[in-house]
């Protein structure tokens, strides 16, 4: 075997011949161990195969925070080519979020009207706050609200009788609110009977 034997006991020469396992058996057992480890990992983390994206579907690129259109699949597995604006980028299928069916009309970005294209300056896809004011109006999942739209406020006239008693404050004058009542000075004790003394903080 190419090395000196430390054992002084005599042995037959056939016992010193190396016996290597067959390559096909080694590869078969290695593949079985890898497949078993993959199944255990998928079962623990709830991993499921993602649906295959089709050409023309609108997706949301997670790392760029903007939508795009699927151009095609690359030769590599799970690699998708996405057109974002005037650029074509390649992303993994895990980094792409399929937009709702209302946004996937099967047309390219240039064929879609500008009113249905999401605003790329926003970091969100759905505006859930639009449904708080009016329950009958559902948010549009295809339009992404921008920060300028959220920060700007438009005054809405009020025709309800409850608005007649409201006090109108002129512009440039800050409204005065009633002072906040101070907490009572009744001492609070713990279950063991010790009085709780909160720290005195500077209140400007």
Residue 152 to residues 53, 63, 126, 146, Cα–Cα distance (Å): 37, 27, 18, 10
Q: Are 148 and 154 in contact (CB under 8 A)?
A: no
| Residue 51 domain-assigned (yes or no) | no
| Residue 194 domain-assigned (yes or no) | no
* Residue 44, both tokens: 């623990």
- Compute the residue count for the chain: 204
Task: Measure the CA angle with vertex 27, ends 25 and 31; round to 5°.
Answer: 115
pLDDT in tens, 19-67: 888 999 999 999 999 999 999 999 999 888 888 888 888 999 999 899 9
pLDDT in tens, 117-127: 444 444 333 33
Domain hosting 91: range is 58-98
pLDDT at 40: 96
Q: What is the pTM of this model?
A: 0.38
Q: Are 70 and 104 in contact (CB under 8 A)?
A: no
How many structural domains does the chain have?
Answer: 1
pLDDT in tens, 163-184: 545 555 555 556 666 666 565 6
Q: Read off φ and ψ for residue 34, nearest 5 degrees.
A: -65, -40
61-90 core/surface letters (b: 16 or more CB in 10 A; e: else): beebebbbbbbebeeeeeebbbbbeeeeee
| Residue 175 domain-assigned (yes or no) | no
| Residue 68 domain-assigned (yes or no) | yes
| Residue 70 domain-assigned (yes or no) | yes
User: Where does residue 120 rank: exposed (0-12), middle (13-18), buried (19+ CB within 10 A)?
Assistant: middle
């Amino acid at each position: 075997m190419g090395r000196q034997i430390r054992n002084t006991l005599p042995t037959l020469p056939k016992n010193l011949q190396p016996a290597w396992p067959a390559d096909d058996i080694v590869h078969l057992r290695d593949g079985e161990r890898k497949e078993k480890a993959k199944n255990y990992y998928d079962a623990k983390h709830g991993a499921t195969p993602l649906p295959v994206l089709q050409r023309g579907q609108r997706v949301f690129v997670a790392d760029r925070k903007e939508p795009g259109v699927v151009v095609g699949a690359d030769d590599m597995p799970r690699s998708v080519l996405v057109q974002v604006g005037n650029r074509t980028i390649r992303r993994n299928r895990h980094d792409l979020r399929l937009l709702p069916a209302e946004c996937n009309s099967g047309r390219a970005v240039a064929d879609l009207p500008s009113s249905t294209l999401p605003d790329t300056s926003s970091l969100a896809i759905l505006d859930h706050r639009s449904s708080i004011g009016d329950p009958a109006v559902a948010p549009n999942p295809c339009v992404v609200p921008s920060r300028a739209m959220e920060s700007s406020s438009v005054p809405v006239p009020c025709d309800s009788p409850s608005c007649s008693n409201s006090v109108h404050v002129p512009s440039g004058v800050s409204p005065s609110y009633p002072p906040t009542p101070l907490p009572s000075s009744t001492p609070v004790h713990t279950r063991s009977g010790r009085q709780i003394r909160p720290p005195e903080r500077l209140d400007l």
